[in-house]
A and B are shown apart, each in its own frame.
Chain A
Amino acid sequence: MERVVITGMGIWSCLGKGKTEVEASLREGRSGIVMDPVRKEMGFRSGLTGHVEMPDLKNVLGRRQRVGMAEEAFYAYVATAEAFEQAGITDELLQREEVGILYGNDSSALAVVESVDALRRKKDTTLIGSGSIFQSMNSTVTMNLSTIYRLRGINFTVSGACASGSHAIGMAFMLIQQGLQRMVLCGGAQEVNPIAFCSFDGISAFSVREDEPTKASRPFDKGRDGLVPSGGAASLVLESLSSALERGATILGEVLGYGFSSNGLHISDPDLNGQVRALNMVLKMADVGPADIGYINAHATSTPIGDTVEAQALHSVFGGSKPPVSSTKSLTGHECWMAGASEIVYCLLMMQGGFLAPNINFDEPDADSERLNIIERPLNKRVDVMLSNSFGFGGTNSSLVLKRYA
């Protein structure tokens, strides 16, 4: 079996535009959460959101390339450009190799709404325009990036709710491990516009701590009252070790394992057994024990039930070794379809930078989180093996283990 390494990464999130800005935010424990008055005018229960800047690609891509790109595809393009640059991926390489793309995305709501609005207004489908269909599909990112970069390998979108990005990396990992692909661009993208989140807001999942936006996302804290929606995109270049060594690429880390499971129970409630099964699977695949894990990037989104069950799962598996745990969602909010990929980027930045990002706003533990070793402040610490959790609606669970390459 091929070993699988990461040779490039790019990020566009509420923590910054690119790796340098994001690493600084992680090191400082700087939140990217703001209050958006437009959401309140629209009738949202919560106006809180991650603030993500829209990239201007007018002079970067041609009109035909841009017209089919939804908001999240814009984020994914800039994250990918950064990842490809770091990995040394050139146009010539893309034509020589069959590079694939597997990206996590589970909605493109704004484009759908805009096309239906246009139809209702104009009563003529032609007058919706040509870009809408390519913007409206969940696969808007993979359709557009595969076309822009002329990718010739595996090409599809992974829609696995808030574990989409993590599953995309897991799928790429398995394809490379089995020798079916040498290099796969993978990641996750998430639209941030209000339309994308209105129905999520409608089930009272969001924090209403609107007077203190940067304190609203407080995973594992006793006073948490819900998640804060956020988004952007994260891209990673996964590659077989042999390919990376042949190219002389800089290796940022190695993917050791991918654990997954389905709860087979409630559509929105998490399940301890399902999460523990995914955790045990990833440890087994990675051939490491709980004590080998030096840091856990928790899924914890700041919802009362979600964080409770994850804390129980982590205690169940890692109670003996108590590795440092933080949820970077305390800084970013919940990046949903993107989170499983962005949190791998955050982990790699920590691994390379010799620090651990804090779980901010962890003021008071509850009965479950007090049993974990949750990092309240940034920590200078070299960690070689990290685990990242991602869980989603429908009971989908994904855990990834990364290791410093040696």
Chain B
Amino acid sequence: MSTTTMIDEIESKTKNFLVEEFEIDGTVIVRDAPMQETLDLDSLDYVDLVVLIQENFGVKLTADDFAGISTFQDFYQHIEARIAKP
């Protein structure tokens, strides 16, 4: 699987659970959009986001991980790196 395909797959899964579970408008989930502002999540929502990420990608993110993530592209790359090297 090429890197591009992996990112595409992560993006597709992410959009899917954000639309289905968080009821986010899928059209606002674009790669260069700021993730935190776009999702407008509170501290409790972040707990549920961690659950969904774990269920979808098998990796558990912490608050420190989110601190280093700005855009959706950053998030997809972070997940890709974690999957490659858990």
Contact = CB atoms under 8 A, between A and B. Distances in A.
Task: Judge: A and B partners, yes or no.
Answer: yes
A64 interface: yes
Contacts of B45: 64, 130
A116 to B, nearest CB: 16
A127 B58 CA distance: 11
A126 B21 contact: no
Interface in A118-157: 122, 124, 126-131
B48 A129 contact: yes
Interface string A44-68: 0000000000000000001110010
Contacts of B56: none
Contact of B44 (A62, A64, A128): A64
B23 A127 contact: no
Contacts of A131: 48
B48 A130 contact: yes
Contacts of B44: 64, 67, 130
Contact of B23 (A62, A124, A126, A128): A62
Contacts of B50: 126-127
B47 interface: yes
B55 to A, nearest CB: 8
B64 interface: no
B60 A124 contact: yes
Contacts of A130: 44-45, 47-48
B51 A129 contact: yes
Interface string A205-239: 00000000000000000000000000000000000
Interface in A68-116: none
A128 B48 CA distance: 9
Given A62-B23, A63-B21, A63-B23, A126 B47 contact: yes
Interface of A: 62-64, 67, 122, 124, 126-131
Interface of B: 21-23, 42, 44-45, 47-48, 50-51, 54, 60
Closest 5 CB pairs of A and B: A130-B47, A130-B44, A129-B51, A63-B23, A130-B48
